[in-house]
Structures are given as C-alpha cells and as structure tokens.
Structure 1
Amino acid sequence: FVTVPIFKTCLNHLQNKCRGSCPAAEITVRSASDLDLTIPGKLLRLLFHDCFVEGCDASILLQGNGTERSDPGNTSVDGFAVIDSAKRLLEIFCPETVSCADILALAARDAVEYTGGPSVQIPTGRRDGRISAAANVRPNIIDTSFTLDEMAKLFFAKGLSMDDLVTLSGGHTIGKSHCSSFNDRFKLDLNGNVTVIDSSQDQQYAVQLSKMCAAGVRDDSITVNNDPGTPFQFDNQYYKILLEHKGLFQSDSALVNDNRTLSKVVEFANSQDGFFESWVVSFLKLSIVGVKTGDEGEIRQSCSMPNR
C-alpha cells in the first residue's frame, strides 16, 4: 500500500505529466455530486457492497451474467458511471496506473468529505479482483431486516468490531432507499390502508413512510431519504433520529434496542466530533478489508471487464 491518497499527489492540471496518479476521482465526484445530490450516498453504499464481497477489489464493477453486479441483492446499487468516468480520465493521462479498487475507495472517501464529513487518509495500492460471482453476494452483505447478531457476525468475519458496526451504520446519514428495503415494517394494501407491524419504530413515522411509499406499492418506484432531517449532509443526525425511534430500517432500530450498541449511539448523538473521529478509524478499516496486492489481482483498463 501507498500511504498518500493518489488523487491528491498530481499537479493541478490533468495535462501535466502524471506522477503515478491523477485527481480524476475527486474531480468526478464533485462534478457528479453538484448535478445529483444523491451521488455521495450511492458511492458510499457501492464501496460497502464491494468490500463485503471478495474484499475491496472492485469486483462489484464487473459486468456480465453471474457477476456480483447482476445479483438481485445489488439491483439498487448505483454510482457505477462516476467510477467509470474517473477511470476513463485516468487511462488517458495515467494509463495502467490506478486500479478501479483504489478509485472506488477514494471516491467514497471524497463523497463523505464533499457532504461535510471528515477527511480520511487511506492507503492506496489495491489491485482489481478477477473473480465476481453472484453466489457470493447474499451470504456477505447486510440485509436491512438483519438483527444485531446477524450484522455483528458479518462484521466480525470482515475483521470489523461492534463499534465499527455502529460507526459505519452512520453512513445512512446520507442517501436514499427504495420502499422495498423497509416496507416489511408496515403493511400497506392497494387501497392505501396502513397496519404498523414493527412496534420498535415510531408509529407516526411509520405511517408517514407508508403514505410516501403508497404511490409505488406496485412497482417500488419511490425512494425515501435515509435521514429525513439532513439527507444530503454527512453529520450525526442519524444517531439522534435513532434515539427518536425513527430509523428507516429494522437494522437501524436494532442499534438502539440492544445495550451492546445503545451507549455508542447515545455518544455519537451527543457528539458529532466523536462520531467523526470514530468514522476516520472505522472507514480506514473498511477500505482495506480483503484487499488484493501484487500478483493477487490486476489493474483493469476498464472497470467493467477484466483485462484479457
């Protein structure tokens, strides 16, 4: 690994001779986010789904039948175009130098900083994986209906702790989610009648969500902000919402329904600085889960297909 972020070691202009890297990801993230405020949340989620399956090796970016990207569990994952755009720039000015895995990790890092979150120094030097199998997705990603024990088991398997689980769940402070990812918490019939199922969620909030999702009950076309307060700002509002029992997912509510995690939620709700300090540590750990180096991988010329 190299300890200096690759997108901040170039000269100011892409046309200048590349010193091993280019600022394409940072430029692309900011440009895309200026046009679409949902981009940062998408990039952060994309990194999670990549790192938890086969490690942080950009295997989720590979296209084709039977790949991770083709699995129904990744249907709503987005942000691929941002990574592809950065890669195209890099291949023009710095060919065969920067891996897609590094681009993805740094783009997610920059997305957090762009939305007001802390700056994180992460190592580079990841190689791109050659293996991408849909069968590996479901056993390795967190489902929004998971209990705390189910989430902790997966996190522990990736070398992440319970504190990392609470901290990285704070990524839900930005982004949007389809109604299908949380509508098991209430029952909504075709006539718009609501029955609240999950008593751990604030009842008024559940009714509000059900009404927002009503228009998409047949096709799941509606998305809802993960954080109803400050949906495009990376802050500690997520934890305050949890204490009000207004977590969007069952997996969110699980954090305040268990004494193993409740104290950390309260700590972060009371201190954004504390949350940010913990985020720096936990995000770094996430970004190096199962990384490939040396002969373990390659540097793809295109993020959507392996080299030939």
Structure 2
Amino acid sequence: MKKVKQAVALLILRLCLLANIAGLSHGALQVGFYRGKCGIADVEMIVAGVVTARFIRDPTVVAALIRLQFHDCFVNGCDASILIDATNSEKTAIPNLTIRGYDIIDEAKAAVEGFCPGVVSCADLIAIAARDAVFLGGGGRYEVQTGRRDGLVSLAQSVSISIPGPSASIPQTMAVFANKGLNLTDMVLLMAHCSIFKDRLYNFRSTGRPDPTMDSFLANKLRARCPLDTTTTAANNTVDLDQNPFQIPFLDNSYYRQLMLNRGVLEIDQELALHPLTRATVMSIANALDFPIQFGAAMVKMGAIEVLTGMQGEIRRFCTATNWPPFT
C-alpha cells in the first residue's frame, strides 16, 4: 500500500487542478457512454470486477494502472497505443520497460468482449481500470468519462520526447505539460529506481558531492540502499518515494509534506517544492483537505488529452494489436 500511496502522491503533485469535476465534458467524451451499448451488461462493473480481484492479490496495481494511463496519454494522447506489441512499439521504449498492468487491461478486454464484441475501446478500459484502482486504494471515486477510440500508431521514439525525465528542470517540464494543455502543477508519474536518482546521492550535477537540497539523514539512508558500486544488483533497487515513517496505508497528501521538509527522492519533485513558480502549489496540496476531489479532477483532465472519438481510430479486437480488417 505504501507504493500505491507514493505513486498517487507523485501524480497529483504535477497533475493536480483545483476544480470540481461535476458536469464537465471533454469533447465527445461523456460519463456513461456505454450505457445501453452492451445489452444488459454494465461495462464499468465488469471492469471493476477484474480490477478488484487483482487488487486483493496485489494492492500495488493502483500505482501501476495510474502510471500506465499517464504513459499512454502523454505520447499519442489517450489512445491505448502503449498496449500494442511490436518490434518498435511504445512498450519497447526505455521509460516504459517498467510499466505494469498490461495483463489487467487484457483481462478486462476479454471480459467485456464476452458480452459485447467490438464495442468497448482499450483506451476506455485503461481509464476505467485506473479509476477503479484509485477508489480501491482509498483515493476517492470520480466519474470517469468514456467514448475514446483506439489509435493505430505506436512508436518507441515518440516516448522519450513526450515524457519528462526525473532530472528535467521546472521550465522543461512546464513546456512539455503546456504542449498537452496542462498547467505547471500537472504531474508526471515516475517509478523510483536507484539508477534514476543516484546522481543526487553521489555526484549531483557533476560536483562530486550529494545534492545539497536533500535532507542529510535521507541522503545517508538512500546511499545505504543504493551503493555507489554500479556492478551490483543494487543498481535496480527500489525505494519508497514517500519517506514518512509514520505513513498510514491510505492515499493522502503525506508526500507533499515530506517535500516541504526536503525529503523528496526524485530531483524534479524536490525542485517543485523549491522553485518559486511551484512552491506555493506544493504547500497548498500538502495542507489540502479535499485531496480526493483534486485527484479525481486531475485524472479526468489527463484522460482527455488528444483523444480519438467518433469515426477516428478503431475499436481493437485485442488490445495488443490493431485490427485487420477493422470493425468499422
């Protein structure tokens, strides 16, 4: 559950908006799009059953599904292009090699196809599954908008230019998010592997010293987990991004409070708490009482990035490959 909480905290730090999602609609997306389109079956309930069964066995699917949706939406828009299996598809790009949750979407697709073949898009399944996982993780429930269609193109080279890295500067990150129609507080979800933040512990910006903005106690703790010797398997060790030793197994804003204490693990996250353009936002989230509402609004906004609707794209038979011939 700690990994669930840390992942949601990271997403909200950069994706948070202060808005009420009630009544919002993005383009052709709408709440309840599949109502009446799958006979007597409830598409969202079918997906919820799949996600719930997996969550019971592995609560970390919350973090995995949120990250899956983020990495899909930020490349070609929310079109499920990340799911396609091919030699040079998005799945093969370095930032996506640690993505999990593909099998959950495949299972959900198989389940809905049994009731209404060729009706529900893989892109919508990602959005619904992420919402259900967040709810199961204690992050509140928001209304998910549906009506997306699936994309036809998936290229590995599109990933690195679309997703900010963990050492990206605030201006660089802002530029990437602005290009997607998102503001400076919109958040990218990242996994914390030693290889990602090791320079902060030993050779920050080629100074030969640790990052001076990191709490010294935290730096010592992380060096024990991530030794300088890169020949060991410890190079791929993972750590908790929320370093609050008293954290409870619930999705909340604890991570922001840790950032205000200079206890951020990733450079970009700690920089958000220090930079004059974003510090006030981090402080506001750290003290917010309406965390679930902010998170739900953020997910709705992210889920509307460059969607395909109407006669665009396709409804895939299998989420791992485009159709030939297509359904429509």
Q: Is the shorter-chain TM-score for this pair beyond 0.5, marking a shared fold? A: yes
- 1:207 maps onto 2:217 in alignment: no
% identity of equivalent residues: 34
CA contact (8 A) 2:33 2:147 kept: no
Q: Distance between the aligned counterparts of 1:68 and 1:24, measured in 2?
A: 27
Q: CA separation of 1:239/1:22 partners in 2, compared to 1, >3 Å: closer, same or farther?
A: closer
CA contact (8 A) 2:170 2:271 kept: yes
Q: Partner of 2:295 in structure 1?
A: 279
CA contact (8 A) 1:6 1:22 kept: no
TM score, norm. by length of structure 2: 0.81
Q: Distance between the aligned counterparts of 1:20 and 1:223, measured in 2?
A: 38
- CA-to-aligned-CA distance 1:245-293 (integer Å, 9 cap, x gap): 11120110111111111111111111231x3333232221100001001
Alpha-carbon RMSD across the aligned residues, in angstroms, is 2.3
Q: Distance between the aligned counterparts of 1:107 and 1:114, measured in 2?
A: 11
Please list every run of at least 4 consecutive aligned residues from structure 1 whose deviation after the TM superposition is greater than 4 angstroms. none
- 1:184 maps onto 2:184 in alignment: no
Secondary structure at 1:295 match in 2: coil
Q: Distance between the aligned counterparts of 1:231 and 1:80, measured in 2?
A: 28
Choose 282-291 or 207-216, whichever is displaced more.
Answer: 207-216
Choose 19-28 or 144-153, whichever is displaced more.
Answer: 19-28
Q: CA separation of 1:210/1:288 partners in 2, compared to 1, >3 Å: closer, same or farther?
A: same
Q: Distance between the aligned counterparts of 1:150 and 1:19, measured in 2?
A: 45
Choose 294-303 or 284-293, whichever is displaced more.
Answer: 294-303
Q: Distance between the aligned counterparts of 1:111 and 1:22, measured in 2?
A: 12
Q: What is the number of residues matched between the two proteins?
A: 288
Secondary structure at 1:255 match in 2: helix
Q: CA deviation at 1:132?
A: 0.3
Q: CA deviation at 1:216?
A: 9.0
CA contact (8 A) 2:54 2:61 kept: yes
Question: Structure 1 counterpart of 2:243, which letter?
Answer: P
CA contact (8 A) 1:196 1:206 kept: no
Q: CA separation of 1:18/1:152 partners in 2, compared to 1, >3 Å: closer, same or farther?
A: same
CA contact (8 A) 1:6 1:23 kept: no
- 1:241 maps onto 2:258 in alignment: yes
Secondary structure at 2:239 match in 1: strand
Q: Distance between the aligned counterparts of 2:196 and 2:161, measured in 1?
A: 17
Q: Distance between the aligned counterparts of 1:2 and 1:256, measured in 2?
A: 34
CA contact (8 A) 1:43 1:78 kept: yes
* Structure 1: gaps (5+ residues): 11-15, 189-194
Q: Decide which of 312, 315, 321 is 1:299's aligned counterpart.
A: 315
Q: CA separation of 1:212/1:125 partners in 2, compared to 1, >3 Å: closer, same or farther?
A: same
Q: Decide which of 125, 134, 139 is 1:103's aligned counterpart.
A: 125
Matching of residues 36-185 of structure 1 within 5 Å: 36-163=58-185, 165=186, 168=187, 177-185=192-200
Secondary structure at 1:87 match in 2: helix
- CA-to-aligned-CA distance 1:123-170 (integer Å, 9 cap, x gap): 10100001000111100002111111111111100000123x2xx45x
Q: CA deviation at 1:55?
A: 0.1
Choose 204-213 or 97-106, whichever is displaced more.
Answer: 204-213
TM score, norm. by length of structure 1: 0.86
Q: Distance between the aligned counterparts of 1:231 and 1:209, measured in 2?
A: 21
Q: Distance between the aligned counterparts of 2:229 and 2:114, measured in 1?
A: 42
Secondary structure at 2:273 match in 1: coil
